[in-house]
């Protein structure tokens, strides 16, 4: 059975959650999940680090009807949003889940979006149910303006947040940075005013009760298993983690190879040493200028993905006043000498 929602409200559901969708290497999170239960239509999105859920209370005729949940792939979201914008805001859109597509039907046009009905999605109700059960002393529950929160993006860093007390400023800490954001007071508009956390949580009790208890976003969200191994990350912290992993991995692999496979031993030593050097340089750069570090990591990722780093290195060497052609010739001569020595040793044997 289809559910109905006016075009304006459907657009709001998309707009409130689209900024939280995951990358295309994690298929279950790369899109917005439309989830219908007995009372609401939900739009759900997550990138593993944030989880956003917006809901719309169904019309009376749609309640207790056909429940469905389908993920709208990220690649189709721009088309869907454009189609929604072409409808008059008050126009009701009928949404139905067919075999392998979602059907959005307006008064004049329809839009079909291919979906995978077997696509598994994290138990978002269970995850939020667990989070809402966390407790802090005094249960402070300030309301923060979303428009103000976006201002912290200019810090260019991960931020720590400390909720101090109800109706008091929230503390924000970053690298050589401290700030505070005052809560706002509701002016009597909408169902949630200056209420307690328990009062607001009860508004979601029916929804979240269907979720599994004890879930954790740190362990119960899909991983980026489909990301190609050669795909370079543009994130500073992931880059640092990858470099440290390479140091330790190569350190383990080099053991026992110094006598059995000298070339492999040298390769692991070189990888370990250079990865450690890169990590230390990146750590120092990030401490001195986090924004510059983020910019450099993003640029390097683009260069690595292009597959032209040899050409980049050649140009960089020339720009620095070196002679890369001389390096090339010397190395070619070194390789020829090694081959000659190996051939002479084989003949003597």
Query: When comparing pLDDT for 29 and 217, which is higher?
Result: 29
Mean pLDDT across the chain, nearest whole number? 83
Q: Residue 286 pLDDT > 70, yes or no? A: yes
Confidence of residue 347 (pLDDT cuts 50, 70, 90): confident
Q: Return the CATH superfamily for domain 3-124.
A: DNA Polymerase III, subunit A, domain 2 (3.10.150.10)
- Helix locations, 226-308, DSSP H: 236-253, 257-260, 262-288, 290-306
Beta pairing, strands 31-36 & 40-46: antiparallel
**What 8-state DSSP symbol labels residue 59?**
P
Task: List all residues 6 or more positions away from 292 whose beta carbon is below 8 Å from its beta carbon.
Answer: 285
Query: When comparing pLDDT for 132 and 104, which is higher?
Result: 104
What integer is the mean pLDDT of 235-245?
87
- Nearest Cα neighbor of 109 from 129, 88, 127, 124 is 88
Question: Domain boundaries in the chain?
Answer: 3-124, 140-195, 236-348
pLDDT-wise least confident of 62-71, 242-251, 253-262: 253-262
Sheet holding 170-174, edge to edge: 160-163, 170-174, 177-181
Percentage of residues of the chain with pLDDT beyond 90: 26
The segment with the largest mean pLDDT, out of 154-158, 197-201, 322-326, is 322-326
- Helix locations, 160-210, DSSP H: 197-202, 205-208
What integer is the mean pLDDT of 247-272?
79
């Amino acid at each position: 059975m289809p559910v109905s929602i006016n075009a304006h409200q459907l657009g709001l559901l998309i707009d409130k959650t689209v900024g939280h969708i995951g990358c295309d290497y994690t298929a279950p999170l790369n899109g917005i999940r439309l989830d219908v239960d007995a009372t609401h239509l939900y739009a759900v999105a997550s990138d593993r680090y944030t989880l956003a859920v917006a809901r719309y209370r169904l019309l009376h005729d749609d309640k207790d009807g056909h429940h469905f949940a389908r993920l709208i792939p990220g690649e189709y979201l721009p088309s869907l949003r454009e189609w929604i914008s072409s409808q008059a805001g008050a126009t009701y859109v009928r949404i139905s889940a067919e075999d392998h597509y979602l059907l959005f039907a307006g008064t004049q046009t329809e839009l079909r979006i291919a979906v995978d009905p077997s696509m598994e999605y994290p138990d978002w109700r269970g995850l939020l149910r667990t989070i809402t059960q966390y407790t802090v002393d005094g249960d402070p529950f300030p309301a923060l303006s979303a428009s103000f929160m976006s201002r912290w993006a200019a810090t260019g860093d991960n931020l720590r947040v400390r909720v101090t007390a109800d109706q008091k400023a929230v503390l924000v800490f970053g690298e050589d940075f401290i700030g505070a954001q005052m809560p706002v007071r509701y002016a009597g508009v909408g169902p949630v005013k200056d209420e307690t956390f328990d009062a607001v949580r009860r508004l979601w009790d029916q929804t979240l009760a269907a979720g599994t208890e004890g879930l954790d976003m740190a362990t119960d969200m899909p991983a980026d298993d489909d990301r190609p191994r050669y795909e370079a990350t543009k994130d500073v912290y992931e880059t640092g983690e990858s470099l440290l992993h390479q140091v330790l991995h190569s350190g383990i692999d080099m053991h026992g190879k110094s006598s059995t496979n000298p070339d492999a031993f040298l390769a692991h030593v070189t990888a370990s040493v250079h990865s450690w050097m890169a990590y230390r340089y990146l750590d120092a750069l990030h401490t001195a200028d986090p924004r510059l570090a983020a910019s450099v990591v993003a640029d390097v990722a683009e260069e690595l993905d292009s597959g032209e780093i040899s050409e980049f290195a050649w140009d960089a060497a020339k720009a620095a006043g070196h002679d890369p052609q001389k390096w090339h010739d010397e190395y070619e001569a070194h390789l020829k000498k090694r081959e000659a020595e190996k051939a002479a040793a084989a003949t003597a044997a």
